[in-house]
Amino acid sequence: MVTRVISVAAGPPATSPAPQSGLQDAWRAIGAPACQLEWVEHTGSTNADLLARAREQAPATPWLLTADMQSAGRGRLGRAWLTTPGDALLLSVALQLRQQTALAPLTLACGVAVAETLAEAGVAVRLKWPNDVLLEGRKLAGILAELALDARGARTIVLGIGLNLVLPSDFHARIGQPAAALAEVLDERSLRATRAQWIARLGAAALRALIAFDEGGFAPFRARFERLLAWRGQRVAVQEPGSAPIDGVLEGVDALGRLRLTTAQGERIFHSGELSVRAAA
């Protein structure tokens, strides 16, 4: 449940707390698409909140919801996303779709948008298929795409982004995988002071990617994704749940965003999101 609404809408600014005006100002400054903006202190999950709203009625104008803290944040396969207040960028955007859309390649397209936004700030990252953003081989951010249908059958894509600003020392053991934070490469004080600008940049980039994907599919993103793909051209191990790892050379993705792996038996294509990819020993 949302505990306190700090801002709603992206219209002319009214007298309001700093987070609202800061986000609205940042949104307008980058010429982002029209969007209803909302900032809350705490919620269970920004994705879950927008999915619930979209099931009632698809948005006529895109939505962006951001929170300082999530108590039930989720990653791929239902994994928990651990955060402490203010130490991560947590946001979801929602867009009513015009076309039938597959979630897997759409997630890749939004990964490109996140990576390119970070690159503009001087942060070089790689994309781990299908939905992780890596800094020096460690997870910096995750992306989760989900679909909602309202009573009229209108389809809404809800795209969540969680990005670590700062990682408390005890989080590394609790996360259970190598993790990274933006404060490792950018000044922490500056990051905290510009959270609204970061949320606006990432949210606008994700929304533009969703709009572009809805219009043109994965084709405009494929080459960009492959340039950013971690371990491309290297020998890796791919494992589906309940199966033995499959070794091969990571070639890239196909036109549907499926992973292409060259093995001793020939090319294998992986389309399921329930995969684990690790650099092979």
What whole-number distance in Å separates Cα of residue 278 and Cα of residue 63? 35
Q: How many beta carbons lie within 10 A of that of residue 206, not counting itself?
A: 27
Are 115 and 127 within 8 A, CB to CB? yes
Q: What's the token pair of residue 137? A: 């081989």
Are 79 and 142 within 8 A, CB to CB? no
Domains and CATH numbers, the chain: 5-227 (3.30.930.10), 231-279 (2.30.30.100)
Task: At 257, give phi and psi (nearest 5°).
Answer: 80, 10
Strand partners, 43: 70
The pLDDT averaged over each successive group of 10 residues in the chain (281 residues) is 36 44 92 95 94 97 95 55 76 95 93 98 96 95 96 97 87 70 96 95 98 96 98 88 84 95 93 62 54
Identify the burial level of 92 via C-beta atoms within 10 angstroms of its C-beta, where 0-12 means exposed, 13-18 middle and 19 or more buried.
buried
Identify the burial level of 60 via C-beta atoms within 10 angstroms of its C-beta, where 0-12 means exposed, 13-18 middle and 19 or more buried.
exposed
What whole-number distance in Å separates Cα of residue 241 and Cα of residue 166? 31
pLDDT at position 244, please? Answer: 82
What whole-number distance in Å separates Cα of residue 48 and Cα of residue 26? 25
What whole-number distance in Å separates Cα of residue 197 and Cα of residue 178? 27
Active site residues: 76, 139, 278
pLDDT at position 260, please? Answer: 96
Are 131 and 159 within 8 A, CB to CB? no
Pairing of strands 63-70, 88-96: antiparallel
Cα R_g (the chain), whole angstroms:
18
Model pLDDT for residues 224-272, shown as the tens digit of each residue: 999 999 999 998 988 777 778 888 999 999 999 999 999 999 999 988 6
